[in-house]
C-alpha cells in the first residue's frame, strides 16, 4: 500500500508508549485514525494532537479483554471513518515474574490483550479488506516471541502466538491484496513499558541493548507500505539468536544465561 494519505486505520494501545509515536507517525502520513485504549483522557489528548496534524481521528475507549468491546471498536471506527485499510494491533501487557507466582488472572489478561484481541479485531475487519482487495494488518509482537525470555512466559508465549498467527494469515491471504506483518522489537528506550522500568533495573544486556520508538514506527510504516512479513527491530541483528533456538531447541537456558537476560529479567521480576 504505497499511498497512505486518506487511508483509515485502527490503532490499539494508543494512549501511551509506542502507540503515541505510531499515532503521530501515521497521522503525518495522512492516515485517519481510530485510537483505542482504556485511558480515555490520554486517548483524547492523542486524538487532538493528530487532528492538529490534519487527519480525522476518533478516540474509542476500549477494554480489549472484553470481547464485545473489540467488535464495538471495529464498528465505531468504520461508522466514523469509513472502510478500514490498516489495523495496527499494538496494545500489549507484560509482567515479569516466576511463572508459579503469576496470578491466574494476569495470565488470562496477557492472553486476551496480547493474542486474543488482535485475532478478534483482525477477524472483524478482514471481510471488508478482502472484499475490497486492499488492507494491511500489522501485529506488534516482540523479540521475546522469537527467543523467549525467562520470567516472562505468558508474554513470550502470547507474542510467539502473534508471530505464527501473522504467518498463517499471510499464507491464507496470498493473492487477496490483503497483507499481514509482524514487528518484533527488542527492548525500546525513551518510551514504553521497558523505558518506564529502566531506572530501577539498569541497562539491558549488551546484545539486547535498546532500540528507539523511531525505529519501531519506521518498521511499522515499512510493513504497511511494502507488506513486509516480519521485522526484528534491535540495534544488533538478533536473527541468529532465534535461528540458534530453532536448530538447537535445548539452547534456550544457555542462550539467556550467556546473553545476561536471565539475570536482567530476574531483576525486573523482583521489582514487579
Ligand X SMILES: NC(=O)c1ccc[n+]([C@@H]2O[C@H](COP(=O)([O-])OP(=O)(O)OC[C@H]3O[C@@H](n4cnc5c(N)ncnc54)[C@H](OP(=O)(O)O)[C@@H]3O)[C@@H](O)[C@H]2O)c1
Active site residues per annotation: 155
- Of the ranges 15-23, 77-85, 173-181, 252-260, which one interacts with ligand X (CB under 6 A)? 15-23
Question: In this complex, which beta carbon is closest to ligand X, that of residue 131 or of residue 263?
Answer: 263
**Interaction residues for ligand X, span 135-194 (CB under 6 A):** 140, 142, 185, 187-188, 192-194
Count the helices and strands in the chain (H runs, E runs): 12, 7
Q: Is 192 left (phi over 0), alpha (psi -120 to 50) or beta?
A: left
Query: Least separation, in Å, of the C-beta of 13 and ligand X?
Result: 3
Is position 49 an interface residue for ligand X (rule: CB under 6 A)? Answer: no
Is position 37 an interface residue for ligand X (rule: CB under 6 A)? Answer: yes
- Burial pattern 228-247, b for ≥16 Cβ within 10 A else e, equals bebbbbbeeebeebbeebee
Query: Least separation, in Å, of the C-beta of 57 and ligand X?
Result: 15
Question: In this complex, which beta carbon is closest to ligand X, that of residue 31 or of residue 204?
Answer: 204
Cβ proximity of 261 and 205 under 8 Å: yes
Nine cell digits for residue 61: 475507549
Cβ proximity of 17 and 193 under 8 Å: yes
DSSP for 136-148, please give it.
EEEEE--THHHH-
Using CB under 6 A, count the residues that bind ligand X.
28
Is position 13 an interface residue for ligand X (rule: CB under 6 A)? Answer: yes
Is position 242 an interface residue for ligand X (rule: CB under 6 A)? Answer: no
**Interaction residues for ligand X, span 89-108 (CB under 6 A):** 90-94
Q: Of 15, 59, 181, 261, which one interacts with ligand X (CB under 6 A)?
A: 15
Residue 39 makes CB contacts below 8 A (sequence gap 6+) with 15, 16
Q: Is 177 left (phi over 0), alpha (psi -120 to 50) or beta?
A: left
Footprint of ligand X (CB under 6 A): 13-19, 37-39, 62-65, 90-94, 113, 140, 142, 185, 187-188, 192-194
Amino acid at each position: 500500500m504505497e499511498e497512505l494519505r486518506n487511508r483509515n486505520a485502527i490503532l490499539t494501545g494508543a494512549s501511551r508508549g509506542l502507540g503515541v509515536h505510531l499515532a503521530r507517525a501515521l497521522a503525518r502520513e495522512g492516515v485517519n485514525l481510530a485510537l483505542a485504549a482504556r485511558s480515555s483522557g490520554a486517548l483524547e489528548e492523542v486524538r487532538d494532537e493528530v487532528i492538529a496534524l490534519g487527519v480525522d481521528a476518533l478516540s474509542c475507549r476500549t477494554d480489549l479483554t472484553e470481547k464485545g468491546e473489540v467488535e464495538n471498536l471495529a464498528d465505531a471506527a468504520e461508522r466514523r471513518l469509513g472502510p478500514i485499510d490498516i489495523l495496527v494491533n499494538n496494545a500489549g501487557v507484560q509482567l515479569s515474574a516466576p511463572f508459579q507466582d503469576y496470578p491466574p488472572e494476569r495470565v488470562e489478561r496477557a492472553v486476551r490483550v496480547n493474542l486474543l484481541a488482535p485475532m478478534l479485531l483482525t477477524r472483524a475487519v478482514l471481510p471488508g479488506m478482502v472484499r475490497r482487495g486492499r488492507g494491511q494488518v500489522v501485529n506488534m509482537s516482540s523479540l521475546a516471541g522469537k527467543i523467549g525470555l525467562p520470567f516472562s512466559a505468558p508474554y513470550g508465549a502470547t507474542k510467539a502466538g502473534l508471530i505464527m498467527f501473522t504467518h498463517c494469515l499471510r499464507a491464507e491471504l496470498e493473492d487477496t491484496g490483503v497483507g499481514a506483518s509482524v514487528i518484533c522489537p527488542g527492548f525500546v528506550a525513551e518510551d514504553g513499558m521497558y523505558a518506564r522500568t529502566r531506572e530501577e533495573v539498569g541497562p539491558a544486556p549488551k546484545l539486547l541493548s535498546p532500540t528507539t520508538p523511531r525505529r519501531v514506527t519506521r518498521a511499522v510504516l515499512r510493513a504497511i507500505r511494502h507488506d513486509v512479513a516480519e521485522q526484528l527491530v534491535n540495534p544488533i541483528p538478533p536473527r541468529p539468536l532465534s535461528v540458534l533456538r530453532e536448530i538447537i531447541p535445548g539452547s534456550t537456558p544457555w542462550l539467556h544465561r550467556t546473553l545476561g537476560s536471565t539475570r536482567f529479567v530476574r531483576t525486573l521480576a523482583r521489582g514487579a
